[in-house]
Structure 1
Amino acid sequence: MKKCLAALLLSSVSFHAYADIFWRFRNPDGTTKWQWVANFSSSVLILTLLIVMIFLLLSNRRAGRANRELKDIKATLEDRVARRTASLIETTEALKSREEYITNIVESMPLMLIGLNQRMEIIQWNQVAETSTGRPIASVLGKNLWEAYPAITLTPDQVAEVLQTKKTMAIKHSQRDQYYFDITIYALTDKDETGVVILVDDITKQMKAENKVSERDKISAMGELASAMAYDINLPLQSILSSLLNAQEKLSSNEVSAIKSELLDTLKNACFSGKQASAIIQNLLDLASSHHHEKAPADIKVLMDQSINLAGSLFTDLSGLRFGDIHITRHYHEGLPHIPCYHSELQQVFVRLLRNAFHSLNKASHENPAINIEISEFYDSLWIKVQHNGKALSPLEQEDIFQPFFSISDRDPACPVEHRLSYSYFIITDHHDGQMSVTSDEKFGTCFNIQLPLV
């Protein structure tokens, strides 16, 4: 009961306080000071408006700053968009120009170009392909290669192998003296799809021209060998004929018994010349039948000694010098390695050099004919020098001696065909990847230099 009375009393006090919230604006007699209320309300309103105005000013400043930033961003964005657009346009034009350039290259290529995808369908077909096959690009795009061009000398297995291994394949297809083609197949790889490119190069004109040059060189070499052979065989044949004529004249006389010894000498010379002619012919037969397709190691010193012995049986002029009368000096360095070579060909080169020296010494009528041979090793090469003191070569002869007899020239050849060494030069430079040269003057004689690689 007491608690209820206390609560009721407290409630009445609180209500009374709330009901008199304007007690500060009342007069002692209980009347309200409305002027004060108006002044207080105006002050509160002014303060509120002032605060609102301050917030509005601050918000306006932030909005202005944000607006300026937005304008700057807009201007920057427009500039970036303009630059990016210009860059894209430039890139597009560059790509278009590059594409046109590549297309122009493909169309201007002097060989047939065919592009295939993984399904071996044609995706590229240049102008040469159109001209060569008579099929325009519109009629072959998307078709299988062998359906569009059945005459192509390729098989699907070859193209499939390139697609699988990603290795370039080169194929030569030819029909002698009719057509020659070089075919290259290589794979293109990207992230999306892998295809192949086929290049077909028609080299018929080039090969025919090269074959003509090769045939001319072969004919030139045959002419040189035939001329040298005729020259070498003619010497013993002339000696035999002279001996026989001399014997015939002496036999026709009445003093046969008195000239018996002279007849025997004449017949002996004729037999010697006959053996010499037979040796020359046998040497040519050995050369023709001794070619090997693979090189074999050889001791150059042994080949040179064999060549000197062979030259002794081949080169003799009964009216002049004999090869056996020439003083030969040999300087062979110790420990010379064997080199890979074609034995018979190098031996013929050495024999031809000794033959040239023999005829030069025979023309000079030298009192002390001599040939100096030196073989040495220098770095990765073997050097061979054949020097003699016979008749020197003129500058024009030095120019011509290694040239084929039928080579084109604007002057008459200075060196006769039977004394040229173009075939020997061909053997050294082409078959053995070496070098060959000559130096000659009256004071120091003539020296032929040969350089052969050790491997």
Structure 2
Amino acid sequence: MTRLTLLATLLLSSPLAQASLLSPFRNDDGSTRWQYVANFSSGVLIILLTLAACILFVTWRRARRYNLELEEIRGQLEQRVKDRTAKLEQEVAEHVVTTQRLQASESYIQNILRSMPLVLVGMNHDGTITHWNRKAEQLSGIRADNAIGRNLWSIYPDVTVTPRHIERALETGEAQTLRYSQAGSFHMDITVYPLENYSEPGVVVLVDDVTRRVVTENMLIQHDKLSSMGELATAMANDINTPLQAILFDLRSFQSILDSNRLFPEGSPQSNEAERVQHLLHNAAKNGRQVESVIRNLQQFARGRSGEPEDANVIDILEHSLVQANEALSLPDAIPFSSIQIERHFDPDTPLAPCYVTELQQVFLSLFRHAYQSLADKAAQAPAEFKPTLKLYAGQSYDSLSLRIQHNGIGLTSEEQMYLFEPYLHSGNSDQPAAGADKRLSFAYFVITEQHKGHMAVTSDPAVGTTFHLQLELL
């Protein structure tokens, strides 16, 4: 409307337009026909107003249509926003649930790893610790906070696992198994597992304390040995005893004949041989009685022990074992056991101790045999002034009975001391037995530590001698 008004104004303002447009509104005499002017102006104004109204109506319709479209678009946008908000809320809720599950799973896994009865150590390829569970803390005394992120060998240099074990596990992709043992204390199985499907190369080290299993296996082996020895002792004793008794009976009969002078009458040429034959018979009878004593010991051992330990005087058992050693221990071309000087240092107030008498006798006899071998070897090498000596100590120490058996024979090396009580192979080659396996005291150690719940140890020096330490509980 503004444009039409402006156009009309311009047309009317020009002289030519005024002359052409106003001519119908003038009389011949040049006067203005105001009635025509008013009517024309009203008509023009009505037309202009009508046009303006039409334009306004069209504009309103367009604006309404645009508003409706905007309202529709706005509604669609609001719906999209609502849908997107609902979807985001659902995703957030799902993410929260997933996060909680992941946290719960991680916490559960961490609790499993921390509560494992095995030592678990996670490491990357250069030995930096990534995991350190509670058992590792207890064994090493190092907290996980102080271990994670540090090199294993810098904080625990005594560990058996070496960098070469980790490299071998990563190179081969196979687990590496190690065995670490200290006889009489503990046995550990160590396994190095390479990690699979992991972004960074690494390994997991598991340390399993198998001491109880090894002790149980040792017990089974020793029980089997004991059973086999009992059966063998019974068979040997029964097989030997019958002909031995016949031989002893014949010896006593022949000696009786000699004593009666019926075989070699006095004054006969053979009477001079009677004394010599009598001496030979006496020695044969003495040796026969020694064999008979050995058989009785074998039979006593074969009968085994009772179900419960009995209170006994350990000093008496020790003395009886000395008698057995005098009768049973001998080596060809060596000093007899009876020539060994025995020094007794016994506390007169030594109390009775609960024990299995037969097994304890076997322990003492095994120790005496071991000592006798060392003394005989040193006597063969030492000068004539060497005096083989065996010292025995017994007395109460707090709530235990303390025993020591000491000799001045050839002592044990550090390696021999380490494996003296170990029944298994200790070399890397399982086909080769340990050196000096026939001189082991694993059975004696088993009887003291497992059957009597006591303690047994050895201290030795090759140039000085050896001392066996035994401790039995009195309660």
Same fold, judged at TM 0.5 (above): no
What range describes the TM-score normalised by the shorter chain of this pair?
0.3 to 0.5
* TM-score of the pair, normalised by structure 2: 0.43
* TM-score of the pair, normalised by structure 1: 0.44
